[in-house]
Amino acid sequence: MALLLRQSTYWYCLIRQLFSLIRKDATIEWRQKHTLFGVLLYVGSTVFVVYMMNGQPEPKVWNALFWLIQLFVTVNSVAKSFLQESQARYRYYFSIVSPGIFMGAKLLYNLVLQLLISLVSLLLFSLMLGNPLEQAGLFLAVTVLGSMALSSVFTFLSAIAAKANQNAALMAVLGFPIITPVLMILSKLATRAVMPVYQAGWGQLALILGLLIVLVAILSLVLFPFLWRE
């Protein structure tokens, strides 16, 4: 009984620390509203420029534009999560929480942030560039999967870049070979929701992307403690 009580107390403390860190990031994001609103303005202005230049594009072009914009949005919003932390603040975090909890909080917060921005982007796309979706529910599911993939990859790359003298350019160098196949998979998965066509191997692509998300999350939780000690 005492062992069960200690275990429940331990997990309660971990969950409380996790949500405290998430609340901290949300508070900082809200205090620096110009960053979030700047990203939303970037999405809105980009969609508007595409509309003024080309009107409502074809479904395949619509799909490609959506995922390209999500890539740039991720770089501008999620990738800054570690770069905005100072070394003194890292030392403070080191004294109160474990690196796994810290990294888990970053992954969860960036997932929620990326998903929110993706849904806003989808709304703006539907209003300005038309709504070619044949299966809206399937596209929403792919959007959730894409938000998980993009946010997890760039959160991990942001942690690496933060320990390399805050070199943001390092994310572009490391991220390009990883994120390119991810975008291609997302575009192919979403094509089924945009156009009523049969795609062989659709389930295998979804499984590969899901495994990639799990792999990146595990690598982040396992390798971040070594970055933390540096």
Q: Is the pLDDT of residue 166 over 70?
A: no
Strand residue runs (E) in 71-114: none
pLDDT, averaged across the chain = 82
User: Does 25 fall in a domain?
Assistant: no
User: Does 29 fall in a domain?
Assistant: no
Task: Kindly state the average pLDDT of the residues 137-151.
Answer: 90
CB atoms within 10 A of CB 162: 22
User: Does 129 fall in a domain?
Assistant: yes
More confident residue, 65 or 78: 65
Domain count, the chain: 1
Q: What is the structure's pLDDT at 133? A: 82
Q: 111: domain range?
A: 34-229
User: Does 103 fall in a domain?
Assistant: yes
Task: Kindly state the average pLDDT of the residues 183-190.
Answer: 89
User: Does 13 fall in a domain?
Assistant: no
Q: Are the C-beta atoms of residues 108 and 155 closer than 8 Å to each other?
A: no
C-alpha Rg value of the chain to the nearest Å:
19
Q: Are the C-beta atoms of residues 51 and 125 closer than 8 Å to each other?
A: no
What gap in Å lies between CA 204 and CA 67, rounded to an integer? 20
Q: What is the structure's pLDDT at 167? A: 62
In tens, the pLDDT along 8-57 reads 676 677 788 888 888 888 887 777 777 778 888 888 888 888 888 877 78
What gap in Å lies between CA 112 and CA 55, rounded to an integer? 31
User: Does 189 fall in a domain?
Assistant: yes
Q: What is the structure's pLDDT at 143? A: 92
CB atoms within 10 A of CB 228: 17
What gap in Å lies between CA 131 and CA 123, rounded to an integer? 9
CB atoms within 10 A of CB 1: 5
User: Does 12 fall in a domain?
Assistant: no
Q: Is the pLDDT of residue 199 over 70?
A: no
User: Does 39 fall in a domain?
Assistant: yes
List all residues 6 or more positions away from 224 whose beta carbon is below 8 Å from its beta carbon: 99, 100, 102, 103, 156, 159
Q: What is the structure's pLDDT at 104? A: 87
Q: Is the pLDDT of residue 120 over 60?
A: yes
